Chains A and B, each alone.
Chain A
């Protein structure tokens, strides 16, 4: 590790603006253009995939992003890694706004912000050996000298629990869990300060999922990398993250420290989401909790409801909810909630495990 740390030092890490957090999203929005239905449809419509997200990630911190399909969590991941250019808002990395930076100027930032994909089958080029896949990341960012490339690749493979002798194998020779490890090795190759992991374990079997999660956790502890961890499995997120942000229809509705969010969620949507998770603890005699039944479907992001976007399915909704967008305000220490009627649940949402 030390040799390459020097190599990076020579190329210059990105200087940090005094007092700036590692990553800060401010009022971030991404609208996608879509044409209307049919021949007679006029005008362009905009899918408001992400609409006003504020989020801060400090160095070494793991923040979980949860929500259901279409809530904008994957779009947020692609904005942070600048695979997309936002419609508005800023993405500040160590104080530098990278939201509209040119590809050339972005390059050093790409080195420090890495992405791990959900599908280990489609995110690796089947025609390249593992050595080439990981080596390309090293070469692109000039991480090591040419003659040091292979040893470094092997070092990385070993770090993620793969046999370093397998550098000349192709992705199809590995199982799903091993392929995800290759993806992780590729992300680690550039020695990032932050990794955005978009559903990194969702495609894996339960026992393999636990292996990969343990690997990610060890790497995080050893290397002090910050994570933006996106998953729909609330148990997985709880296990891995210090803080959790809940998204609904393009906005963050609640954000806070892990325990506060899971034990005292204040936003009705967070409460409904947590209450819907099937809990295996019921077989160990933990009394089952009531499940909140949400009515209807998530509205279309093309034409989202005015005011609070959750109001159409919310049991607390009043006139104000349609008129005023609830700000993401601090309602408890470090816990921010975007709801006019935020309050902790009257009874426990998640079944308590008797200890």
Chain B
């Protein structure tokens, strides 16, 4: 501890991300619809979602509760019960069609082709089995190997995700791990079969900020080493800015803005994205009054007609006629930049952002 040379903190340099990855899509979602029939009517959780993601890239899906971000990602993993969910459209992972796949094939696909990590590691780890047993089970389900080989693999994975003393820790039960370590163990379990697609559903939301930093670093490292495609679901735009290549902003079941992170968060073109940015207090400078979006997100039982955001939109009066209330805008490029798209009728959103929104951002 009193080593004089170690008197500077160990730091991680946050460099600007280099856009990596091939251009060929590994995950391709086309016109995905997910609906749940209920006693009160049809819950339209996801309506016509399309995106693609190549290997080696990270897509952040951002939105508030009920925006469809988790529901759409669970559909990618084939986790919806066919009895209660109505799914249409296409989800292709590495060329395999997931929509309509049988339960047996899905089981094979999950864990090997794709893996998911959840917000709450406590609920994804069985309290009666040791961490090692659970990782070994995941490995042996897809590889017919002996217990001792699987154990070696489990130790290797725990070591890889930064669990100290993995040989001893492999025999621990989940309650013997701290929150951050449990999240690491779950990541180890998810990655034990080298999945090409990793879906992380709010993996750091329940964690403290220093632990969150460790987990974000870990996911970025693992992605670099394994070259996986990562879908990162979160509501924290700061996290998105740090880890994602692309971002998809969802509202009431639809994507409303899609493109590279620095463009969408740097110069957003949709009033909802503006509102999100105006709701986040800054970490430097004199605190400015926040300018939150009025109202609350709509019920998915009765999504507003036209643009789903129109009841909360301050810029509705800028669009002539009643297009906002009657016609749902398409998700298309709105400016000369074709690498990004937004779903809004506004004519000159880039100008509105520069002259009206940017000056009042916190």
Contacts and interface: CB of A to CB of B under 8 A. Distances in A.
Q: Which range contains the number of B residues in contact with the other chain?
A: 35 or more
A293 B10 contact: yes
Contacts of B164: 296
B178 interface: yes
A234 B236 CA distance: 13
A240 to B, nearest CB: 8
B212 interface: yes
Q: Which range contains the number of A residues in contact with the other chain?
A: 35 or more
B242 A352 contact: no
B50 interface: no
Nearest to B265: A283
Nearest to B288: A239
A294 interface: yes
A278 B207 CA distance: 13
Interface stretch (B12-20, B96-104, B108-116, B334-342): B12-20
A284 B241 CA distance: 10
Nearest to B289: A214
Contacts of B261: 283
B286 to A, nearest CB: 9
B296 A272 contact: no
Contacts of A251: none
Contacts of B266: 283-285
A283 B241 contact: yes
Given A207-B275, A271-B9, A262 B283 contact: yes
Interface in A275-306: 275-285, 288-298
A69 B235 contact: no
B238 A290 contact: no
Contacts of A292: 9-11
Contacts of A316: 7
A280 B265 contact: yes
B284 A276 contact: no
Given A288-B16, A291-B217, A315-B8, 13 more contacts: A176-B65, A207-B292, A211-B292, A213-B290, A214-B289, A238-B282, A272-B210, A276-B210, A293-B10, A316-B7, A351-B283, A352-B284, A352-B285
21 contacts: A68-B211, A206-B235, A206-B237, A206-B279, A208-B292, A211-B294, A214-B292, A217-B289, A238-B282, A271-B9, A273-B210, A276-B210, A279-B241, A291-B13, A293-B10, A293-B217, A295-B10, A297-B178, A316-B7, A317-B1, A355-B285
